[in-house]
Amino acid sequence: MAKKKPNKSNSNTIALNKKARHEYFLHDKFEAGIELQGWEVKSIRSGKVNITDTYIHLKDGEAYLLASQIQPLNSASTHVICDPMRYRKLLLKKREIDRLIGATERDGFSLVATAMYWKKCWVKLEFHLAKGKKMHDKRADIKDRDWSRDKERLMKHKA
């Protein structure tokens, strides 16, 4: 019986959008597969992905990933046209797409990508229904974070 090769890294995370939690109130979480081309999978395996300003657009009953950047490898084939900013279709169920359309059109939510990761051999995208934060909301979050850090320091020195 052959042994499995150990994975190079313990984490399945490919890319994170850390700015999303600072810029938006994140509500419901969704997971979707991504329709990718061969060169994109090779680039993702080498870690050439950026989803910092990525969002999801709903059109004609389908969901598309916009503004995600997958840089092609230098050794890409000459007969393949590599567009790093192309629209990528998200694989969702019809009921999920209908729910997302309702939330974005009626309730004014945005769809923001927060993480891209491996799930077995497939690339998955985690995204949230989100509402934008105002400047005073961001300041309140920073103040709460600082207070919790100070509180931890006080409790540590007290014990």
* pLDDT, tens only, 94-143: 999 999 999 999 998 999 999 999 999 999 999 999 999 888 888 888 89
Instruction: Assign 21 to helix, strand or coil.
Output: helix
**Greater confidence, 27 or 137?**
27
- pLDDT computed for residue 77 by the predictor: 64
Handedness of CA 6, 9, 11, 17 (dihedral sign): negative
- pLDDT (tens digit per residue) in 59-101: 999 999 999 999 988 876 667 788 889 999 999 999 999 999 9
CA 141, CA 106: separation in Å to the nearest integer? 27
Q: What's the start-to-end Cα distance of the chain, in Å?
A: 53
Instruction: Assign 125 to helix, strand or coil.
Output: strand
- pLDDT computed for residue 124 by the predictor: 97
The structural domains of the chain, ordered by start, are 13-133 (2.40.280.10)
- pLDDT computed for residue 76 by the predictor: 64
CA 149, CA 11: separation in Å to the nearest integer? 27
Cα distances from 29 to residues 57, 62, 125, in angstroms, run 16, 18, 10
Of 54, 49, 50, nearest in space to 20 by CA? 54
- Please give the DSSP secondary-structure letter assigned to residue 71: P
Q: How confident is the model at residue 157 (pLDDT cuts 50, 70, 90)?
A: confident
Q: Per-residue pLDDT for 24 more than 70? A: yes
